Amino acid sequence: MFGKLKWGLIGAAMAYLFDPVSGRGRRVRLKDQMLAEGRDALRVAAKKARYEVGRAKGVVHDVVGSETYPTTDGALRQKIRSEVVGPMDESVRHVDIRVENGIVTLKGQSRDQVTESVLTDRIAAVTGVVDVRNELIAS
């Protein structure tokens, strides 16, 4: 019974679309509607993809953290000067800081070993510093 009904519906659809008077306009309209639905589906898929990319970036940010490593030795040296040396007292401002491949070398004279130790500990805590070499001379 359902087989005859199915073939009857297919026949009616064919007659509707291939009618000699109005069939061509109906086919064109159906084609336009199907293309519009396809474009809408692509827009929705692109929007969902952008959303998921943003979510993935957020997860990466949460896992890795927001701090980025300085890209050059000069940038790392500037970061050390601004984050470590700047807030400390005048006795460490004349210390020569050299950076090569993330390895920080301190040269010059220090006032005392406590200040020297605090300075090296704070520099070692800066993101991007691989090692700290203390070549300061106690005065």
pLDDT in tens, 77-119: 888 888 887 766 666 667 888 999 889 998 888 778 888 888 8
Q: Is the pLDDT of residue 47 over 80?
A: yes
CATH 3.30.300.130 fits 73-138, yes or no: yes
- Label residue 123 exposed, middle or buried (CB < 10 Å: 0-12, 13-18, 19+): buried
Tell me the whole-structure pTM to 2 decimals.
0.50
Please answer whether residues 108 and 134 qualify as being in contact, where contact means their C-beta atoms are separated by less than 8 angstroms: no
State pLDDT tens for residues 5-19.
999 999 999 999 899
68-86 pLDDT, tens digit per residue, is 666 788 888 888 888 887 7
